[in-house]
Amino acid sequence: MNVFNQLSIWLSFQLSIIFLIGIPVTLFFWSIIKRNKAVNKLLSIYWKISLLFFISLLLLIGKYNYALVITNISTLLMTISVWFWNDINDELKEYDFSYSLATTTKVWRWSITFLSLHFLTQSLLKYSCFSFLNSAACEVWLQPSSNFYIIIKSFFNFFFGANFTQPIAKFLGLFSLLIYTLGLIQWSIIKLPKSGRNSCFSENGRN
């Protein structure tokens, strides 16, 4: 059962690379080529929200106790961000199945929704890891971030000639989390009351 759980968590992280990063990148450039403002706006918002997911990876590398909480919040926010906007939802409904960009976008939205729920379900199986990640039972959650750690470590050493350590990852993650939280609060107080669930993608004309 433990092996199955480890495999499931490993698979969740692998799928997240595809559905949370790979496919959105493809859709973003596809929307630019097709000059589809609705999908382009949706992906632009998505990338801003998804920064929290990368921050959570830094916190996992730094073995911050509440990193798993941040990871789940990030996936939930990413899911909400792709369904939240009424004008984009209405625009996507107008396209039939033959318009491949819109169809792929719809499938992708459902995919990350199920992935986010699966991730949350996996986390709840070890709910103690929400508050104390640095235990033997929670080690399985730290293993998938090791590859990301190797990439950042190499990047850091190449550009800055310095060693990227776990304490540095934790500091950068917490500092980035503070900036992100302040930005989210500012948007909630200033922009959300004005625009509501309207993304304003068509302000410069309909595609």
Cα angle for residues 184, 190, 191 (degrees, 5° grid):
80
Residue 207 within a domain: no
Residue 66 within a domain: yes
Residue 205 within a domain: no
Residue 202 within a domain: no
Amino acid present at 7? L
pLDDT higher than 70, residue 10:
no
Residue, of 142 and 171, whose pLDDT is higher: 171
Residue 22 within a domain: yes
31: Cβ–Cβ under 8 A, 6 or more apart, which residues? 39, 40, 43, 101
Give the pLDDT band (50/70/90) at residue 116. very high
Residue 8 within a domain: yes
Q: Note whether 177 and 55 are within 8 A (CB).
A: yes
Residue 206 within a domain: no
What would the pLDDT profile of 18-39 be if each residue is shown by its tens digit? 888 899 999 999 999 999 999 9
Closest CA to 61 of 191, 186, 148: 148
What would the pLDDT profile of 167-194 be if each residue is shown by its tens digit? 888 999 999 999 999 999 999 999 999 9
Residue 179 within a domain: yes
For residue 141, give its domain range. 2-195
Report the domain count for the chain. 1
